[in-house]
Structure 1
Amino acid sequence: MGLGRNFRRWGMWAFIAVMVLSPKAASAETITPDRITAALSKLELLAEGAVADGGVPGLAIGVVHGDEVIFLVGFGHREVGKPEAVDADTVFQIASLSKPVSATIVAALVGKGIVSWDSKIADLDPAFRLAEPYPTRELTLRDLFSHRSGLPGTAGDDLEDIGYDRAEILRRLRFVSPSSSFRAGYSYSNFGLTEGAVAAAKRTGKPWEEIAEEKLYRPLGMTSTSSRHADFIKHANRAALHVKIDGIWAAKVKRDPDAQAPAGGVSSTVRDLSQWVRLVLGNGVYAGKPLIEADALDQTHVPLMTRGKNPVSGGESFYGLGWNVEFGRHGLSWGHAGAFSVGARTLVTLFPEEKIGIVIVANAFSTGVPEGLSDSFADLVFDGTVEKDWIKAWDDTYAGLFGPAVAAAKATYAAPPSPTRPAGPASAYAGRYSNDFIGDAVVSRAGDVLVLKVGPAGARSYSLTHFDADLFLTFPDAETPDRPSAVGFAVGPNGKASAMTIEFLDDNHLGTLRRVGD
């Protein structure tokens, strides 16, 4: 990995090595129409059961075999407490399932010779910068779509959370130190991939959202699909986002992902996404007509960066260009998951050798229902029986990923030390603070509490509750409203804070802002 010009050689050797070591999948001949029909029948029962058991409020599934959509069904409700049912035409926000969709769109540009996967970002978008000059000069579309640019995974996500738009977030990535040497490490980056897509579109002179429609959505008749949030909210038949509050699903938060549209901002239906699956399984041919050059599309499925093992099934997993490439118990698969922590879960899994694909969209987070249903369907198709309760296995995995972090934050700030040291006067903390990455922040007094405002023109506001001495707590996450985060002040001999560190903006050690005025 990280071999620059030698990526093709590395990718081929990785492919050969893992295929030799991987379990042998069932041949296409053993996957009979009767077995697929039986698998679909059982899949429907499993999905109905997942909704009935409260696994998700609603979901929709599309299945493709060959060049035919053989299953399109919705389950449950668009929003809890309301009667409207999910169907095949319910529009969902698909979160990071947007990444392989966007890779397909860029492949269309590559196939037309507009760009190549090795086009340099410095040529496509000369204003873009990374923290260091050499990666900035050598960075390519391939690097950004395979997450090997060195950008930390969360770079830019924090700026999006506090209200910055796409252009400003991409400009400020230059202030983020790399998490690894260029091309030497895999770090999943929403805004890295977003820059790749936006840079590719610049060569056309059109915005990304328009290119997405022109190169993919309109040719495939994906009439309910868009990369604009405004289009999503125009649909009456759309799914709400759900999170669990006190163990009950609730539609409390909305999400506008326009800033990272190529990486996470697509909205679509299983009917539309199934058309895209047909195109990918057809190697760029759709309904008998070549739409994307096979060579350009094939590059998206070359395993470039290792991701380790699938945490549940144990398969060897790699990242290509916007796609996970996995060698598991049923052989080669291409896939990608998506999630919004404010309430969305999505998944696509393709078995290219057998020309079978499944896409699942759900309106809740966190849940392992999409992976559980996909793995169960694969077992039914390849083996005729489900190996184990995959939904439970994936639910347990997600609980292990997210539960401890919330519990740790609660435990850290469960109670102040005894005795608690008093805060200084409000005037010690009130003032203007700034750094190049986060920009300006203002702390002011509002009645008996301090309020922190950050983002463009103070777009986001957070109340600060005293914890101990010069340390305050706030609760920045709408989806986990009881999860605290610290805001600490460094108070000098003059009794004034000279700096402030905002914990929830400090993932990349850029959360410390210096006082610049009162």
Structure 2
Amino acid sequence: MPPAQVPPLLSQEQVDAAVAAIDGLVADAMERTGVPGMAVAVVHQDEVVHAEGYGVREVGEPAPVDPDTVFQLASLSKPLASTVIAGLVGDEVLDFEDPVIASNPSFALNDPYVTQHATFADLLSHRSGLQTGSGDLLEDLGYDRDHILGRLDQQPLLPFRSSYSYSNFGFTAGAEAAAMAAGMPWEDLAEERLLEPLGMTDTSYRHADYEAEPNRALIHVPTGDGTWAARYTRDADAEAPAGGASSSVRDMAQWMRLQLAGGVYDGTPVVDPDALATTRLPHAVNNPPAALAGRTGFYGLGLNVSYDDAGRLRLGHSGAFNLGAATNVLMLPGEELGIVVLTNGRPQGIPEAITAAFFDIADHGEPTIDWLAFTSWAFEQIEASQAPETDWSQPAADPQPARDLGVYAGTYANSYYGPLTVTADGGDLTMTMGPPEAPTTFPLTHWSGDVFTFESIGENATGLAGALFTVDEAGTATSVRLDFYDRTGLGTFTRE
């Protein structure tokens, strides 16, 4: 059994003071960032003590955010999903330590041993060896869940169980196998096992339900001049258990009540407490200490697990869509206290700043640092670390002419991404790839010699990318490497 919690340290007055500060924290964050809208809920001792909306659902439109406004959760979908799977463990449908392949015989990774031995716990804690982003670029191209999961076996693996690498489709593979064990689609399982018992009627793992909701917040990105725009749609059905849920703060408060009550909701047991506790144990190190006196951060099963200065267990998770959504939940189970923040703006550390400041005020009476400045800086560092190695927006130092464009035209094969068709039409060169029923065509712009550039697309886009053709002595293009799609060495397409 997990060790006992540290006894509660917060008085009612301290919690009340933190709750009273929320409106000011939100107003400050919205003024400093311009984010269009957000919603916040707080649960304390099984009571929803705060549930409010702020700002608007869409820039330029008057409809306000309220506690029932539905936001896309992004990766805040994961702790909901692990709660669903904990319910199945309590029902003895499966065990976290069961091999996934026993529930899904088609499950496969790029190592026979890992394929046979990877458990639900391995996949839900990101320690299977799948690298961060495995499958994500297929999703951006429009491939569906089955297609993507069926190609994970081509992804090279990091060391099994001794490495942590955040993988949306590794997590999805675990949840999908759990749904197979239960004998129903994931979306139906989540409804039956969690959403309906908690009355979470505004929550769904189906993008169509989000789109059909009249009281929904659109996603926004900053325009660069201090304003925001609703430019994109983000359909995350392919990775639904990991990032495809949508919900309101009123619904999310019901889930926090369940979590903070150890699996009980309105006096009725919903999830076995031991199974739920297992999701809260450290399963992988995701934040090694930066100094000898530093504290280690962990990942449980769909939850970040850490311990504060008082030794209290902290559970949390963020959600982030670069196309325009940012969310965060933070809970202190020993205090029976939790806060969730949903926003309709691209990740900048805004919800994380509010949840951190809330608990800082509860503990110390006031924020001890400028949390928004700190979290904004942290997100800037993350974004900088994801910049492409080559800045293709810069001209070549010694540009060379291209060959006749017909040299590059043709069909190129790739077992992971599928075929790539390069077409020359007069002075224009394009490439087409993706699902046959809905392919994407990219204009190619000459950079130098046999190198062209194209604009990357989707959630993981990083701006201009390179298409580097290899041409043999006979003047035939034999292959093309797309550097944006080559993150794990799978981005070379060979002429058929």
TM-score normalised to the size of structure 1?
0.91
Selected match of 2:220 from 226, 235, 242:
242
1:199 aligns with 2:177: yes
The alpha-carbon distance between structure 1 residues 310 and 218, as it changes in their structure 2 partners (threshold 3 A), is farther
- Supply the distance in 1 between the matched residues of 2:70 and 2:15 (Cα, whole angstroms): 27
SS in 2 for 1:325: strand
- Supply the distance in 1 between the matched residues of 2:89 and 2:367 (Cα, whole angstroms): 40
- Supply the distance in 2 between the matched residues of 1:249 and 1:479 (Cα, whole angstroms): 17
**How far does residue 376 in structure 1 lie from its aligned partner after superposition?**
0.5
1:258 aligns with 2:258: no
The alpha-carbon distance between structure 1 residues 166 and 240, as it changes in their structure 2 partners (threshold 3 A), is same
| Per-residue deviation, residues 409-466 of structure 1 (Å, max 9, x unmatched) | 54x5411223x10111111111111111111111112442211111111611211100
Selected match of 2:168 from 150, 167, 190:
190
- Supply the distance in 1 between the matched residues of 2:351 and 2:370 (Cα, whole angstroms): 13
SS in 2 for 1:456: coil
Contact 2:140–2:460 (Cα < 8 Å) also in 1: no
Match of 1:146 in 2: 125
Q: Can you give the 5+ residue segments of structure 1 that lack an aligned partner in the other structure? A: 1-7, 20-24
Match of 1:42 in 2: 21
Selected match of 1:54 from 27, 33, 41:
33
Selected match of 1:509 from 484, 489, 496:
489
Selected match of 2:69 from 90, 98, 123:
90
SS in 2 for 1:261: helix
Contact 1:409–1:483 (Cα < 8 Å) also in 2: no
Match of 1:433 in 2: 412
SS in 1 for 2:301: coil
**How far does residue 500 in structure 1 lie from its aligned partner after superposition?**
0.8
| Per-residue deviation, residues 87-115 of structure 1 (Å, max 9, x unmatched) | 11110000000011000000011110111
Match of 2:152 in 1: 173
Contact 1:257–1:265 (Cα < 8 Å) also in 2: yes
Contact 1:56–1:367 (Cα < 8 Å) also in 2: no
SS in 2 for 1:74: strand
Instruction: Give 1:16-415 correspondences, 5 Å limit.
Output: 28=8, 30-178=9-157, 180-247=158-225, 248-309=227-288, 315-329=295-309, 331-403=312-384, 405-406=386-387, 409-410=390-391, 412-415=392-395
- Supply the distance in 2 between the matched residues of 1:259 and 1:219 (Cα, whole angstroms): 25
SS in 2 for 1:184: coil
User: How much identity, in percent, do the aligned residues show?
Assistant: 41
TM-score normalised to the size of structure 2?
0.95
Match of 2:480 in 1: 500
- Supply the distance in 2 between the matched residues of 1:398 and 1:143 (Cα, whole angstroms): 27
**RMSD, aligned CA:** 2.1
Match of 1:4 in 2: none
Q: What is the one-letter code of the residue matched to 1:366?
A: P
State the aligned residue count: 492
SS in 1 for 2:286: strand
SS in 2 for 1:472: strand
1:459 aligns with 2:439: yes
- Supply the distance in 2 between the matched residues of 1:219 and 1:281 (Cα, whole angstroms): 16
The alpha-carbon distance between structure 1 residues 310 and 286, as it changes in their structure 2 partners (threshold 3 A), is farther
Q: What is the one-letter code of the residue matched to 2:117?
A: E
Contact 1:253–1:478 (Cα < 8 Å) also in 2: no
Contact 2:72–2:246 (Cα < 8 Å) also in 1: yes
- Supply the distance in 2 between the matched residues of 1:280 and 1:327 (Cα, whole angstroms): 17
Contact 2:140–2:458 (Cα < 8 Å) also in 1: no
- Supply the distance in 1 between the matched residues of 2:385 and 2:84 (Cα, whole angstroms): 38
SS in 1 for 2:419: strand
- Supply the distance in 1 between the matched residues of 2:389 and 2:382 (Cα, whole angstroms): 12
**How far does residue 196 in structure 1 lie from its aligned partner after superposition?**
0.3
**How far does residue 478 in structure 1 lie from its aligned partner after superposition?**
5.6
Contact 2:249–2:341 (Cα < 8 Å) also in 1: yes
**How far does residue 316 in structure 1 lie from its aligned partner after superposition?**
2.6
SS in 1 for 2:232: coil
- Supply the distance in 2 between the matched residues of 1:329 and 1:321 (Cα, whole angstroms): 23
**How far does residue 133 in structure 1 lie from its aligned partner after superposition?**
0.5
Contact 1:58–1:75 (Cα < 8 Å) also in 2: yes
- Supply the distance in 2 between the matched residues of 1:125 and 1:66 (Cα, whole angstroms): 39
**How far does residue 246 in structure 1 lie from its aligned partner after superposition?**
2.2
